[in-house]
Structure 1
Amino acid sequence: MTDEDSAPVILAVDRNQRNLELLSQFLKQQGYQVLAKISLEEVGEVTSIPSTIKLALIDISGFDASVWGLCQRLREQGIPFLVISPRQYAAIQQASIAHGALGLLNKPLMMREFLQLIRDLLKGSE
């Protein structure tokens, strides 16, 4: 088994291809394996099989209300996740928590704090 094989797997979901690439690149540089998905259909395929996903990062920008169904599935499968949003709205925060999110992050992300949060969450899931 290589180091990459033992690295935690993070599911990253974002409608914006460039943002998804940047997030994936950043996480890979930090030693994580990344499943980058741009559509809810792609995520459905990944989450329909037993997986080793340790954490999901869901950027809700550009998705309609069906994104909450994905969040519900992640919760039911015991996959911890964070919601990323461009704005701080009480309704988004309430919906995120109601659908099982561990928390809501607002853009722009402060990468040092973001990375520490990921480490802390993954440490708690071991």
Structure 2
Amino acid sequence: MQILQNVTVKRVLTEKSKELLVNKYHNNKAQLQKECDQLLFELKKLEKTRKYSAASLKAQFDKEIDTRKEKIKLIDFQIEQLEILPFGSELKDDDLQSIVDINIGDNWDDITKGKTIIIKDGVIVEIRER
């Protein structure tokens, strides 16, 4: 019989992985900033048409812009934390599901413990039992 089991994937922080993460964060931040700029442009465009109530329109757009600005603050915090972390630290990357064969006589506690996969620079370096 087969069952699904949760598997945690962790990445070891190296110079290469740190650089990739920082680039990813900066790209996400730039994308969010572009979205804020686009929302402001759309707001001004819609205000000129005068088809909608200016106050409610501005409130909706402000809410969307504020949501993105909060995400930008979170990214800035993540970048700060990443700068503090020493190389060799393990960062949780993902949770996956794996198929596990079980048979009569297997130790249930060992099966349900789950596993953790450790990745260093894109290569699996260790598979741990939790």
TM-score by length of 2: 0.21
Q: Which has the higher strand share?
A: 2
Which is helix-richer, 1 or 2? 2
- 1 or 2 for the larger relative contact order (CA 8 Å, sep ≥6)? 2
* Higher radius of gyration, 1 or 2: 2
TM-score, normalised with respect to structure 1: 0.22
